[in-house]
Chain A
Amino acid sequence: MAGLRMTTPRLLVLNAFLDDPTQERYGLELATAAGLEPGTIYPILVAFENAGWLISREEQVDPHLQGRPRRRYYALTAEGTTAARDALAGNARRRGRRGAPNRKLAW
């Protein structure tokens, strides 16, 4: 977690992951679940992956049958799950002190 600054979009993505920490999700699906504007999620995912919070893998499908390139699926690591819970709890405490419980961005 060292050096990873928490922003509202990052917290929303972590929150979406923690809805089911064991589930693998792809970018567009995660952006929709987190309430982020589609297309903006990839820097967040790459940052989390670089920090070791996420692992990713390519799906094993035939791109020609699917009519699109293979998707990349992301999942929380054990370290990422702990860090995400810590980050969200820390954010909730700060918001509690400030009295601003809003969790979703409006796009």
Chain B
Amino acid sequence: MVTARRIDRVVVAALGSALPPPFRARQQAEWAADLADLARGDRPAARWRYVLAATRTLPALHALARHAQVDGPRSVSPPVLPTTRMLAWVVATSLGWTLLSWSTVIAGPYLAAGANPDPSPTWPIADRLLPAPLKVALQLGGYAAAGMDLLLVAVAAVVTAGFLLLSSGRGWRDRLNTLARGGLIAMVTLAVTVVDMFTSLATTLNGLALSLTAVAAVGLALGRFGLPRRWRIVLGVLAAAGFAVVITDNTFGSAMIVWFRD
């Protein structure tokens, strides 16, 4: 199915390139929707017959396109691939959680503590204010911001489990594909985590994993992966905030990291 979608993107883009720009997106949407329907029916021969037939109509479409109504989409976003969707969830959740944790267990308490050098937890994670599991999760997020990113792997595992639950009504092949995608993402996040921990222990640099996650968010936000606009905006904002935290931790805010680790 995923391969079929990739082929469809290429085919639809190639067919559309023969049409004038104002009409192109409208016709590409028609073809892409039809091919998606035919792909669902698992009829590869029908899809190729469709493409050949559509190719034959290009001269006629080109001649008619000049007068055609073009109120449709200005560009056609291909359907988002399942791996991209999972990766977007992993990146957004881990970035969001890391940034929330950074604010609540590092920057917030450090600023609240003021000149007091006592590193014991203050607002908002003081003992009586938050339930223990949430406090642990925030601490984990704090470590992620400070350069020991175990959160990324945990989020990859949770997102994979969530996607597996969502695909429970589908066939075993779908579930296996979801598991394979999640496994791949988890392996990458594990590798990033190990490198990040080594870097933060061996050098004075903090937040390698956070930087790489922010870079991934920028890629997902700016690339043509078919993600909805609001997703791309959220990822862009999170990436910007992520970079800001990394810069802060490694420059004028490095004292906060020392304070947090102590």
Residues of A near any B CB (own CB < 8 A)? 26-28, 37-40, 42-43, 46-47, 49-50, 56, 58, 62-64, 67-72
Contact = CB atoms under 8 A, between A and B. Distances in A.
Secondary structure of the B side of the interface?
helix
Interface of B: 26-34, 36-38, 46, 49-54, 56-57, 60-61, 64-65, 67-69, 71-73, 76-77, 79-80, 226-228
Contact of B73 (A43, A58, A62): A58
A43 B55 CA distance: 11
Given A39-B54, A40-B57, A63 B79 contact: yes
Contacts, number: 87
Nearest to A39: B53
A38 B30 contact: no
30 contacts: A28-B33, A28-B34, A28-B38, A37-B53, A38-B34, A38-B38, A38-B49, A39-B49, A39-B53, A39-B54, A39-B57, A40-B56, A42-B27, A42-B54, A42-B57, A43-B60, A43-B64, A50-B68, A56-B69, A58-B71, A63-B79, A64-B77, A64-B228, A68-B37, A69-B36, A69-B73, A70-B72, A70-B73, A71-B30, A71-B33
A44 B54 CA distance: 12
B34 A43 contact: no
Contacts of A56: 69
A64 B46 CA distance: 24
B50 A43 contact: no
B14 to A, nearest CB: 14
A42 B80 CA distance: 25
